[in-house]
Amino acid sequence: MILSGAQAVVECLKKENVDTVFGYPGGVALPLYDALYNCGIHHILTRHEQGAAHAADGYARSSGRVGVCISTSGPGATNLVTGIATANIDSVPMVCITCQVTTDALGKDSFQEADITGITAPISKHNFMIHTVESLPEVMTEAFYIASTGRPGPVIVDIPKDVLVSKAEFAYPEKPQLKGYKPVYSGDESMIRTVVNVLKQAKKPVFFIGGGVMLSDMADVVLELVNKTGIPVTASMMGLASLDKKHPLHLGMLGMHGTYAANLAVTNCDLLITLGARFDDRVTGAVSKFAPNATIVQFDIDPSEINKIIPTNYCVLADLKWSLPIFTKMVSACDIKPWVDEVLLWKKEHPLRFKEDTANIKPQAVICAVDEAKANDAFVVTDVGQHQMWTAQYAHFGHPRALISSAGLGTMGYGLPAAIGAQAANPEREVWLFSGDGSIMMNCQELATAVEQNLPIKIFILNNQGLGMVRQWQRMFYGKRYSGSKHEVPTNFQLLAEAFGAKGLTVHTKEELKYAVTYAKACKGPILVNVFVEEEENVMPMVPPGTALDQIVE
């Protein structure tokens, strides 16, 4: 059949089983938006293109499917950049369709022209500029394939307006024909046998699980592996939900704001088996002092991560879907009772804790109150800052995709649009968002999107009337010189929510908090709860920057 380029894009989306897209129209995008009209794909109009990118990200993380966002050219495309970078560093599968000025106007500083393929090359998995309408179906199928295979990531497809209006015969390829892209799936089974033999000699082994476990849907296998071997487990923030934190061998999060037991276990272990984690600097502390006595084993799909930060003694380069079941079948129970007893004693003697305050609400108490009320299959979304770390520390997650947060890039303003994406992908599930009075303002316009779509997102702002994590560092390392980190004129977030048409509550007391959590859980539409919390509370424990993991300040 003969279709315009815009119609072909829509048909490609249907072929890829896309049911929801997030976007914002503009001049050169109008042909595509005309084709989207009544096409059967749900288009969610965000109030900013950054919101569209983060919403597609939240959709992808919560569902495991490819998220899709659309923008016009120039500023529309560049407004996606932060969302693309956020998805890229956290390995989130997305296809970002940017519309572009006509091909004869390229490179001439035309109105609303920006070289989005050049801009996004360092922060995306791949990008395409489409030059002919005939190539469009082939490129689209390649984009979805690249985004979702291997180590996932965002792919940009830039389409000039003349390509959108030109017509050609439409035929969607059965599968992509990519000569230069062969994603790893299986690996060298002999390396797994080597790791099994190394494990047999270990007296103090530890598993370190990362976001790759969630991305490969291998949480059930990890649970089987842990139960079978009896080896203690720690996790990056991205991997935190892949094993129930209530599991007796789960030591909690590793790193700067990780638990005492997790940090001490990695520091003192003789074998560290890393599953789908990339040794981020917030995890390692001082690299030269990370796991100083350990043999390092890394299971990963991406060869660029091997020896990038931490020297690896053994690596299994393959998809965890292939390697973990084989490894789990090969291993047996480990005779490491003295080690496990020691680690669990650290866990018992140094639990996460905070001191209740009779006058003020502690921010950790807000996390705990919501955690007790939320459904087991709920999604927990965070922005970035102190509330993010408290959520990682004190919340429990009922399934591997339950925690949705900007980990690698640390993007303030991520939370609200990501929660919109998660709720759109999972309309029957609860979505709870923790934000701060700093983060929420960066994309607060997306409250209008949540109201328009009637998405029952439960937003809890931990309001300490300033930039909490910035102020914590200023307290600890800059002599309490609070430069630029205090909100001198507090925002009335209840009125802000109501101005957008959402429910709003303000909480000052513990009694009001209890009511607000109950009310929010029952709310049928979006609700924002502004909770005033202790302003000077620090996220603890903490490993000061540049120090070893065992230099923990509790």
- Would you give per-residue pLDDT tens digits along the chain (554 residues)? 999 999 999 999 999 999 999 999 999 999 999 999 999 999 999 999 999 999 999 999 999 999 999 999 999 999 999 999 999 999 999 999 999 999 999 999 999 999 999 999 999 999 999 999 999 999 999 999 999 999 999 999 999 999 999 999 999 998 898 988 989 899 999 999 999 999 999 999 999 999 999 999 999 999 999 999 999 999 999 999 999 999 999 999 999 999 999 999 999 999 999 999 999 999 999 999 999 999 999 999 999 999 999 999 999 999 999 999 999 999 999 999 999 999 999 999 999 999 988 788 999 999 999 999 999 999 999 999 999 999 999 999 999 999 999 999 999 999 999 999 999 999 999 999 999 999 999 999 999 999 999 999 999 999 999 999 999 999 999 999 999 999 989 899 999 999 999 999 999 999 999 999 999 999 999 999 999 999 999 999 999 999 999 999 99
DSSP per-residue codes, 337-350: HHHHHHHHHHHHHS
Q: What pLDDT is recorded for position 175?
A: 86
Dihedral through CA 73, CA 74, CA 77, CA 81, nearest 10? 170
Domain 2-169 sits in CATH at 3.40.50.970
Q: 189-349: CATH homologous superfamily?
A: TPP-binding domain (3.40.50.1220)
Residue entry with tokens 């591997």: 400
Return d(Cα 224, Cα 333) in angstroms, integer.
11
Q: What pLDDT is recorded for position 417?
A: 98
Q: What pLDDT is recorded for position 332?
A: 97
CA angle 494, 354, 246 (to 5 degrees): 95
Given the DSSP bridges, would you call strands 2-4 and 20-23 parallel, antiparallel or unpaired? unpaired
Residue entry with tokens 């794909």: 41
Radius of gyration, alpha carbons of the chain: 24
Closest to 69 measured CA to CA, from 516, 60, 446, 61: 60
Q: What pLDDT is recorded for position 180?
A: 86
For helices 5-15 and 136-148, give the axis angle rounded to 10 degrees. Answer: 30
Active site residues: 49, 111-112, 161, 469
Q: What pLDDT is recorded for position 312?
A: 96
Ranges in the chain annotated CATH 3.40.50.970:
2-169, 363-532
DSSP state of 486: B
Residues 82, 148, 234, 240, CA torsion sign: positive
Give every CB contact of residue 281 below 8 A, 6+ residues apart in sequence.
Answer: 287, 309
Given the DSSP bridges, would you call strands 20-23 and 379-382 parallel, antiparallel or unpaired? unpaired
Domain 363-532 sits in CATH at 3.40.50.970
Q: What pLDDT is recorded for position 359?
A: 81
Return d(Cα 439, Cα 204) in angstroms, integer.
41
Q: What pLDDT is recorded for position 356?
A: 86
Residue 132 burial by Cβ neighbours in a 10 Å radius (0-12, 13-18, 19+) = middle
DSSP state of 305: G
* Number of neighbours of residue 185 by Cβ within 10 angstroms: 13
Peptide bond into 160 cis (omega under 30): no
* Number of neighbours of residue 506 by Cβ within 10 angstroms: 18
Residue entry with tokens 């490129």: 139
Return d(Cα 233, Cα 248) in angstroms, integer.
9
| Backbone phi, psi, residue 103, to 5° | -60, -35
Ranges in the chain annotated CATH 3.40.50.1220:
189-349
